[in-house]
Amino acid sequence: SQQGEEDPQALSIQEGENATMNCSYKTSINNLQWYRQNSGRGLVHLILIRSNEREKHSGRLRVTLDTSKKSSSLLITASRAADTASYFCATAALTGGGNKLTFGTGTQLKVEL
Amino acid sequence: DTAVSQTPKYLVTQMGNDKSIKCEQNLGHDTMYWYKQDSKKFLKIMFSYNNKELIINETVPNRFSPKSPDKAHLNLHINSLELGDSAVYFCASSQLFGGDYGYTFGSGTRLTVV
């Protein structure tokens, strides 16, 4: 079954505004990752946060993780038109075969000029 | 240099045919994966291989058979294609079973079964 649910499903903002996407998951994890997918392209890894971390920054990205609530958020500050894409959270959990990455349902972000 | 490359990018074929998708990574990663993305953008893992050994095999029809001749290559062969197989298939790779590393994805193969 799907591990992560993302909220909102779609988000439309103006350039320069901040965009916040949320992700909830169901089981214990080793880490949580965020990916971006531009239309018709592959996924690009953005940031990884370990289960013992609460917050992480990378450039204009800020990720938080609350393992007690099994949730994470991705904040993109000062958004640009080039940030228009789908964003997926993915949870990594140990299985009998090593870490398995399970993706959420995605948030479609549109940044308008 | 493309890190994870898949061929072909587009594949249109008739029901009942057999087709293959090839994947190669030049990152030196030990683990490779196949994911399927449906029309609603839902991504689901199909297989993972670590150093040529099958590690994860999700509930996938046995018409799908992965093959890893070496740790840099993971191909996907699909027999007796069905309409429901239409999707985008992504190959990915990572270090050390994933661990605390992100995955590197290929650009995808859009398979259309008619």
Q: Mutate which of B23, B30, B89, B100 to disrupt the A interface (most A C-beta within 10 Å)? A: B100
Q: Which residues of chain B have pLDDT under 50?
A: none
* pLDDT tens digits along A21-47: 999 999 889 999 999 999 989 999 999
Question: Mean pLDDT in chain A?
Answer: 92
Q: Which of A1-10, A85-94, A95-104, B17-26 has the highest mean pLDDT?
A: B17-26
How many other β-carbons are positioned within 10 Å of the β-carbon of residue B34? 26
Cis amide bond preceding A8, omega within 30:
yes
Quick one: tokens of B2?
A: 């493309």
Quote the pLDDT of residue B54.
87
Task: Select from A71, A83, A99 the least CA-distant residue to A18.
Answer: A83
Give yes or no for residue A97 having a pLDDT over 60: no
Task: Select from B12, B21, B18 the least CA-distant residue to B73.
Answer: B21
Report CB contact under 8 Å: B31, A98: yes
Task: Select from B55, B109, B42 the least CA-distant residue to B77.
Answer: B109
Q: Mutate which of A50, A63, A100, A109 to disrupt the B interface (most B C-beta within 10 Å)? A: A100
Give yes or no for residue A1 having a pLDDT over 60: no
CA distance A50 to chain B (A): 7
> Percentage of chain B surpassing pLDDT 70?
97
A91 in reach of chain B (CB within 8 A): no
CB of B106 closer than 8 Å to CB of B91: yes
Distance between CA atoms of A78 and A62, rounded to whole angstroms? Answer: 12
